[in-house]
């Protein structure tokens, strides 16, 4: 039976009208301070921060005075800390609203300010109400308070991601996958096509902007949460699903893939789907569930090849589990394999037509790199993406199977029955076997921080009851401390996400941005390059090919932000700059998919605009061996929030030739210098 959520007894005697009045007064203070600072030539960010803090302090003082005089309770230090933590959480929501509205070309700055103040008045009310709820539930020690908090924390996490989808610039990986979508295909060198198809769908509906690129990841998070929730219902009979969704909402691994659009977003969704159907098929022995397994693995193969590890782990479980071995003689698993192969046929066809390039890149290419012992790095990333508290919970789960199977209460009729044991072994196997592959690889090759993120989904249902402290592991005080750390961990994660997103979108006074980092400040940079390209094309009378002088970062970012600049100016997009922005593979570098999109023998005699972060990349002998003539190198400064965040160089070269030739021309040497 689902637990009924009861409203705490704050309803007794406390008039919400007073709280609303205090919130409105705080909004007036907010508005007044904002316009005073803004009219005195302070930056928008300074006015936004100081006005909010002024309003919150005013609100805190009025509520404290009112509570004391009404004899409800005398505010203590702990309540004051909780009040300002809630206020800080609301502040980050306001930052998301402000940054999203500023990035729109349809709303004036004055309307943006008024709208934010109006929304802030509502947020102030919830700051007051939330702080009072915390105090009353702490006094009453309500058994349902965690259930209530979980719902609001989930809602907050979703709202935070949604509000910041559009404000921060894309990471270069996201811009690269947007270029996938512009060159729509059934396969690509370094990843399957699912990420491209999703981006293409939403950019077609919403235009070429950050919100549209990332919205697919936002939807994938909901799919992940739904299937993890359904899996938890199978494991605990519907008692721990809220805690499961909370973990998926706040753990760094899943908050990130639910915000940034990479192949990991659909992969994690398909992984959660596969876990659910594997559990139904192998533990609940549902024959129809094998269709779901085939769909999940097939779609996962269109997202990222990593999901093959999940299929291998499931096969290993079938071999070691006596009850599951009967499926080897039944047709359903083989039908699932057939379904997965049919769905994954596009990547097979693409690879067959391209000398199996993608399969080789993700298999032999991964193990053929230079030797590197990266196990400490891999373990560190695991602690990071599931948090130290989550890591402690993981260890406790592995050491306390009986306690975990009981869920801390009498949910199961027989906590140690065969089905529960088999389910535990299945999910642990589907977690640890894929992780062991990455551990083995880390002994001699480089690993990436996000590789193990989908693997931990199998452990989340067993981690869920540790969030509310309903389990008593009985191991030692160390693990007990880990359980008690969950509230602080969850709030800490949300605060960290708020700080990070606000920093990327709006920044903080006195805090600088990293120099030439990813695509920070590229909204203006893309516009400047597009203006430069238009001018050069008018002067030369020929089409200009822009070349980013690195593997894929500069080219991907310029293609996206040039396209966005055209759409932002409300001009008709006659062509996409994605089709005339290439990589430095034209100068013997590695360009990944750019080598397929821009074959070097088709670029002969073109005029190129070279753009790079390093002056030396534009002045190397390799560049001069591929061109007939080169102009001088010039600079472009990049700014974000009125602060310089980067310096790039550009150079126009003419007469590109795919075949390198020795260049002994003294004039060319002088240009290189």
The DSSP secondary structure of 38-64, one letter per residue, reads: HHTT--HHHHHHHHHHHHHHHHHHHHH
Instruction: Tell me which of 320-329, 447-456, 568-577, 624-633 is least confident.
Output: 568-577
**Residues 560-569 pLDDT 10s:** 999 998 887 7
d(CA 594, CA 600): 10
User: Could you count the other beta carbons within 10 Å of the beta carbon of residue 307?
Assistant: 27
Q: Is the dihedral of CA 359, 193, 290, 230 positive or negative?
A: positive
- Predicted local distance difference test score (pLDDT) of residue 123: 78
pLDDT exceeds cutoff 60 at 14: no
Three-state SS at 673: coil
DSSP 8-state assignment for residue 605: T
pLDDT exceeds cutoff 80 at 16: no
d(CA 13, CA 63): 15
Domain spans of the chain? 9-143, 172-353+373-498, 522-672
**Residues 34-72 pLDDT 10s:** 888 888 877 888 989 999 999 999 988 888 887 777 665
H/E stretch holding 1 reads none
User: Could you count the other beta carbons within 10 Å of the beta carbon of residue 137?
Assistant: 20
Question: 63 or 274, which is more confident?
Answer: 274
pLDDT exceeds cutoff 80 at 580: yes
Q: Is the dihedral of CA 240, 246, 252, 253 positive or negative?
A: positive
Instruction: Tell me which of 263-277, 321-335, 510-524 is least confident.
Output: 510-524
Strand segments (E) across 71-148: none
Task: Select the highest-mean-pLDDT range: 129-143, 267-281, 627-641.
Answer: 267-281
3-state SS string over 256-287? HHCCCCCCHHHHHHHHHHHHHHHHHHHCCCCC
- Per the CB < 8 A criterion, the answer to whether 201 and 213 are in contact is no
pLDDT exceeds cutoff 60 at 193: yes
- Predicted local distance difference test score (pLDDT) of residue 281: 97
pLDDT exceeds cutoff 60 at 412: no
640-647: average pLDDT: 90
Q: Look-up: residue for tokens 């192949």?
A: 263
- Predicted local distance difference test score (pLDDT) of residue 642: 84
- Residue (of 236, 220, 543) closest to 405 by Cα position: 236
- Predicted local distance difference test score (pLDDT) of residue 563: 94
pLDDT band, very low/low/confident/very high, at 239 (cuts 50, 70, 90): low
Residues contacting 322, CB < 8 A, separation 6+? none
pLDDT exceeds cutoff 80 at 216: yes
Cα three-residue angle 306-173-244, rounded to 5 degrees: 55
How many residues are present in the chain? 673
236-258: average pLDDT: 89
pLDDT band, very low/low/confident/very high, at 3 (cuts 50, 70, 90): very low
**Residues 129-172 pLDDT 10s:** 776 666 665 555 554 567 778 888 999 999 999 999 998 999 99
pLDDT band, very low/low/confident/very high, at 416 (cuts 50, 70, 90): very low
- pTM equals 0.91
pLDDT exceeds cutoff 50 at 450: yes
d(CA 147, CA 576): 49
Question: What is the greatest pairwise CA distance in the chain?
Answer: 90
- Per the CB < 8 A criterion, the answer to whether 618 and 555 are in contact is no
346-375: average pLDDT: 87
Both tokens of residue 323? 């009850």
Average pLDDT, the chain: 86
- Predicted local distance difference test score (pLDDT) of residue 106: 64
- Predicted local distance difference test score (pLDDT) of residue 664: 45
Q: Is the dihedral of CA 561, 563, 564, 568 positive or negative?
A: positive
Question: 76 or 257, which is more confident?
Answer: 257
pLDDT exceeds cutoff 80 at 352: yes
- Per the CB < 8 A criterion, the answer to whether 470 and 407 are in contact is yes
- Hey, what's the torsion of the CAs at 17, 18, 20, 21, to 10 degrees? 120
pLDDT exceeds cutoff 90 at 611: yes
| Start-end of H helices in 443-593 | 460-467, 477-484, 486-505, 522-540, 553-568
Q: Is 660 left (phi over 0), alpha (psi -120 to 50) or beta?
A: beta
656-669: average pLDDT: 63
- Predicted local distance difference test score (pLDDT) of residue 427: 96
191-216: average pLDDT: 96
């Amino acid at each position: 039976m689902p637990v009924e959520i009861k409203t705490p007894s704050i309803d007794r005697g406390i008039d919400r009208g007073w709280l609303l009045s205090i919130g409105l007064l705080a909004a007036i203070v907010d508005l007044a301070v904002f316009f005073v600072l803004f009219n005195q030539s302070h930056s928008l960010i300074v006015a936004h921060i100081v006005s909010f803090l002024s309003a919150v302090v005013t609100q805190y003082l009025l509520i404290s005075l009112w509570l004391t005089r009404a004899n409800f309770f005398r505010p203590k230090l702990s309540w004051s800390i909780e009040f300002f933590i809630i206020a800080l959480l609301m502040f980050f929501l306001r930052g998301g609203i402000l940054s999203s509205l500023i990035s729109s070309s349809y709303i004036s700055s004055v309307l943006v300010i008024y709208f934010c103040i109006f929304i802030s008045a509502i947020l102030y009310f919830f700051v007051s109400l939330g702080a009072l709820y915390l105090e009353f539930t702490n006094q009453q020690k309500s058994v349902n308070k965690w259930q209530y908090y979980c719902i609001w924390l989930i809602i907050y996490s979703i709202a935070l991601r949604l509000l910041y989808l559009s404000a921060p610039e894309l990471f270069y990986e996201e811009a690269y996958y947007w270029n996938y979508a512009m060159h729509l295909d059934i396969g690509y060198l370094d990843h399957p096509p699912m990420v491209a198809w999703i981006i293409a769908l939403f950019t077609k509906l919403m235009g070429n902007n950050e919100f549209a690129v990332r919205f697919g990841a936002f939807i994938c998070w909901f799919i992940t949460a739904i299937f993890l929730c359904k899996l938890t219902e199978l494991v605990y009979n519907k008692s721990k699903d809220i805690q499961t969704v909370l973990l998926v909402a706040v753990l760094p691994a899943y908050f990130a893939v639910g915000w940034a659009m990479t192949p990991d977003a659909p992969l994690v969704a398909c992984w959660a789907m596969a876990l659910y159907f594997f559990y139904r098929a192998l533990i609940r022995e549902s024959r129809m569930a094998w269709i779901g397994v085939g769909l999940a693995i097939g779609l996962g193969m269109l997202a990222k090849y990593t999901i093959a590890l999940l299929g291998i782990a499931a096969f290993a479980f079938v071999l070691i589990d006596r009850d599951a071995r009967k499926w080897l003689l039944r047709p359903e698993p083989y039908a699932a394999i057939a379904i997965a192969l049919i769905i994954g046929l596009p990547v097979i066809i693409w690879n067959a037509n391209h000398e199996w390039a993608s399969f080789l890149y993700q298999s032999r290419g991964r193990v053929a790199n230079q030797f590197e012992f990266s196990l400490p790095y891999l373990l560190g990333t695991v602690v990071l993406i599931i948090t130290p508290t989550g890591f402690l919970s993981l260890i406790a789960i592995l050491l306390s199977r009986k306690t975990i199977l009981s869920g801390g209460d009498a949910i199961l009729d027989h906590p140690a029955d065969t089905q529960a044991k088999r389910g535990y072994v299945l999910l642990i196997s589907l977690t640890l076997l894929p992780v062991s592959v990455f551990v083995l690889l880390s002994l001699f090759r480089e690993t990436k921080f996000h590789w193990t993120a989908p693997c931990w989904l199998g452990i989340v249902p067993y981690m869920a009851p540790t969030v509310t402290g309903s389990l008593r592991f009985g191991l030692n005080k160390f693990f007990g401390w880990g359980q008690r750390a969950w509230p602080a961990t969850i709030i800490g994660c949300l605060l960290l996400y708020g700080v990070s997103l606000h920093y990327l979108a709006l920044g903080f006074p006195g805090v600088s941005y990293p120099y030439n980092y990813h695509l920070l400040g590229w909204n203006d940079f893309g516009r400047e390059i597009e203006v430069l390209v238009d001018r050069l094309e008018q002067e030369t009378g020929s089409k200009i090919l822009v070349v980013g002088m690195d593997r894929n970062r500069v080219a991907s970012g310029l293609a996206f932000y040039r396209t966005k600049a055209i759409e932002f100016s409300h001009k008709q997009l006659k062509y996409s700059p994605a089709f005339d922005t290439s990589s430095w593979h034209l100068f013997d570098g590695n360009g990944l998919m750019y080598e397929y999109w821009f074959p070097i023998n088709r670029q002969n005699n073109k005029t190129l605009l070279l753009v790079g972060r390093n002056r030396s990349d534009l002045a190397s002998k390799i560049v001069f061996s591929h061109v007939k003539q080169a102009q001088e190198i010039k600079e472009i400064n990049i700014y974000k929030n009125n602060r310089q965040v980067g310096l790039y160089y550009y150079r126009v070269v003419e007469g590109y030739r795919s075949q390198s030739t020795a260049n002994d021309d003294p004039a060319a040497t002088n240009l290189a210098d």
